[in-house]
Structure 1
Amino acid sequence: MKPMPLNQAFTLIEPGPVVLVTTNDGQRDNVMTISWTMVMDFTPRFAITTGPWNHSYQALSESNECVIAIPALDLIDQVVGIGTCSGADTDKFATFGLTAMRGKQVAAPLIRECLANIECQVVDIVERHNIVVLQGLAAYLDDEREERRTLHAVGDGSFIADGVKLDRRELMASKLPDGV
């Protein structure tokens, strides 16, 4: 092994898939790309990292709700584009050809083109670490969608797409909580 720059060590441990997080500020919908996500405790509780530098953050923190939309590999260019412009001056739904759909639990829209959507309520904001903890309220999956591979950001402008799914459920069955 050879040394690598410590400030690049984060590229070795990528979190959950890149997601799109939608918000509604009471007047308009917005969407932001989030590359750090985490599932908490085998439950519909999630954490994302964002803060006041993102235009959507104010709507997220004031409305206390959002939608986590999970794009598949075929939306990579939209995901990158959404993450490189601001909703302060861009209608991202129109610019990137996304279809907003009304959910049942929150005012923030679902995204029709995504593989899945999870309506969420904010349950905690850990300002010191810019972590927003979300409770899932409803989930939707487009099980007819052909492209199902999700994206993972390496952190240096490159991405990894999910590959082969390996089934070890039987081996792990005795170790997983009930219902998983």
Structure 2
Amino acid sequence: MEPLPLSKAFTLLEPGPVVLVTTHDGRKANIMTITWTMVRGFSAEFAMTTGPWNHSYEALCRSKECVLAIPAADMLDTAVGIGTCSGRDTDKFAKFGLTPLPAQHVRAPLIAECLANIECRVVDVIEPYSIVLLEGVAAYFDDARTEKRMLHAVGDGTFVVDGRRIDRREMMRSKLPDGV
């Protein structure tokens, strides 16, 4: 093995899929791209890293709700584009041709073009670490969508796309909690 600069070690532990997080500040909806997400167990509990550097952060903290919209691999350029402009001066829904759909439990919209959407409430914001804890209140999946592979950011401007699923459910059945 060759040494790897410690500053690049984070690229070895790639987080959950790229998500488009929608918020609503009471006047308008916005979207931000988040590449650092995680599941917090076998329930609809999630965490993401964001902070005041994102325009949507204030709306997220104030409204205590959002939607995690999960783009498929064919939306890579859209996800990157959303992440490289600010909602302060850009209507991202219009700029990227995305369709906001009304959510059932939160004010932030779903994104019609995404593979899945999860309506969430903010449970806590851990300020020193820029971690937002979320609880899902409703989830939607577009099974009719042809492209179902998700995107994962490596952290250095490159991305990995999900590949073929390998089924080991039977092998793990006795090891998983009930209902999984």
In structure 2, the residue matched to 1:45 is 45
Question: Quick check: 1:94 aligned with 2:82?
Answer: no
Displacement after TM superposition at 1:4 (Å) = 1.1
Following TM superposition, the consecutive aligned residue runs of length 4 or more in structure 1 with deviations greater than 2 angstroms are: none
For 1:85 and 1:110, locate their aligned partners in 2 and report how far apart those are by CA, in whole Å: 20
Letter in 2 for 1:5: P
For 2:177 and 2:136, locate their aligned partners in 1 and report how far apart those are by CA, in whole Å: 18
Query: How far does the alpha carbon of each residue in 1:120-173 deviate from its partner, in whole angstroms, 9 at most, with x for none?
Result: 000011111100000000000101000000000000000000001000000111
For 1:103 and 1:176, locate their aligned partners in 2 and report how far apart those are by CA, in whole Å: 32
The number of residue pairs the alignment matches comes to: 180
In structure 2, the residue matched to 1:7 is 7
Displacement after TM superposition at 1:78 (Å) = 0.4
In structure 2, the residue matched to 1:158 is 158
For 1:177 and 1:20, locate their aligned partners in 2 and report how far apart those are by CA, in whole Å: 29
In structure 2, the residue matched to 1:109 is 109
Letter in 2 for 1:9: A
TM-score, with structure 2 as normaliser: 0.99
Identity of matched residues, % = 67
Q: Secondary structure at the match of 1:85?
A: coil
Question: Quick check: 1:81 aligned with 2:81?
Answer: yes
Query: How far does the alpha carbon of each residue in 1:62-85 deviate from its partner, in whole angstroms, 9 at most, with x for none?
Result: 000000000000100000000001
Question: Quick check: 1:132 aligned with 2:128?
Answer: no
In structure 1, the residue matched to 2:33 is 33
Question: Quick check: 1:71 aligned with 2:71?
Answer: yes
For 1:72 and 1:141, locate their aligned partners in 2 and report how far apart those are by CA, in whole Å: 11
For 1:175 and 1:123, locate their aligned partners in 2 and report how far apart those are by CA, in whole Å: 29
Tell me how large the CA RMSD over aligned residues is: 0.4
For 1:172 and 1:132, locate their aligned partners in 2 and report how far apart those are by CA, in whole Å: 31
In structure 2, the residue matched to 1:172 is 172
For 1:158 and 1:25, locate their aligned partners in 2 and report how far apart those are by CA, in whole Å: 31
Q: Secondary structure at the match of 1:103?
A: coil
Structure 2 unaligned spans of 5+: none
For 2:85 and 2:103, locate their aligned partners in 1 and report how far apart those are by CA, in whole Å: 25
In structure 1, the residue matched to 2:23 is 23
Letter in 2 for 1:43: S
